[in-house]
Amino acid sequence: MASALAPPLPNVQLSYGPMIVGVFFNMILYGVLAGQTLSYFQVYKKDATWMRLFVGFLFAVETANTALDMAMMYEPLILNYGRKPVFFPTVFMTEPLCVVLVSVPVQLFFAWRIHQLTKSLWVPLIISVFGVASFAGGLWTAIRVQMLREFSKKPLLHNSALLWFLAACVADVLITISLVMTLSKKKTGFVATDSVIEKIIRMTIQTGMITALFSILDVVCFMALPHYAVNFVWDLALSKLYSNCLLSTLNARHKLNNASHGSTFQQRRSVVLSPARSGSGKQESFFDDAPAGGSVTYGGTVTEGHVSDLEYGIHMTKIVERMEDPVPRTVVAQ
């Protein structure tokens, strides 16, 4: 008697394929985040306690998120191997929760920094409103996932997911535009300082727009292919983008600060163009290295422009002026 043929395996390419690709991206970015977090705690030991706790909180949430994502894929691909995908994985509801637990605090942090830089309430308030709306959308999505549970009902997540991703996207774009405009106004005329500001502006655009781009792609794929899981390619890596963007900004402070000072001491004698005391035009100050390792200043006014306080990844500039009497020159008769 011939043995019965085994039933064909269900096609899960468009159900679990995008999800496992998203988990791969998530795990790769987690490795990057681990390195950045270690670097942060080693280099910035003097940061405010609340800031270090904030970074620790983000890393803890991301660690839990990566572990849960691996468990999420283990269930259907190993425990339920060969079965048609009918239900969402059990821990799938944790994904939107983890994303908003990372993205919204990061958005609120940058809203606070924009307020510190501009002293304006309106733009940070608008960013905060969209951030809170994104959190509400993520929480709503998590609850709906647990209630619906079935893949076939995924289109019913339309409203909550739309609120979640669109609000996050608007907040990210507003943060990027606000920081670029604010930093552009901080230019002082010092070549070194302006070069650092331009680097920070480029970094702000790159980090801010990549999270907005992933949110947009998530929404587009969700709306265009509601019955498939293609959007999870972008969704499952989203939280890691937020945390990595924040850590890359924080860790860039030391390098940028060194860059701002480096050009001042590269040459034995340099000419610094600085804003004149009257505010009109510029004056020259000359810095020479003294033979004994000190410095001698020629001229009545020394204006020193430098970058300090790259606090929390947001560039600040300070100009320090001091008055010194000219160093008398001894004339030796021949």
Contact between 287 and 270 under an 8 Å Cβ cutoff? The reply is yes
Count of structural domains, the chain: 2
Torsion, CA 256, CA 113, CA 160, CA 21, rounded to 10:
10
Same domain, 39 and 157: yes
Same domain, 306 and 183: no
pLDDT digits (tens, 9 = 90+) for 140-169: 999 999 898 887 888 888 899 899 989 999
The CATH number given to whatever domain includes residue 150 is 1.20.1070
Boundary-marking domain end, from 227, 254, 281: 254
Assigned token pair, 297:
């200043």
Query: How many other CB atoms are found less than 10 A from the CB of residue 85?
Result: 19
Distance CA 128, CA 171 (A): 8
Q: Which residue is it, tokens 């940028």?
A: 256
Boundary-marking domain end, from 254, 286, 306: 254
pLDDT digits (tens, 9 = 90+) for 169-215: 999 999 988 888 887 877 777 776 677 777 777 777 777 778 888 88
pLDDT digits (tens, 9 = 90+) for 107-127: 999 999 899 888 889 999 999
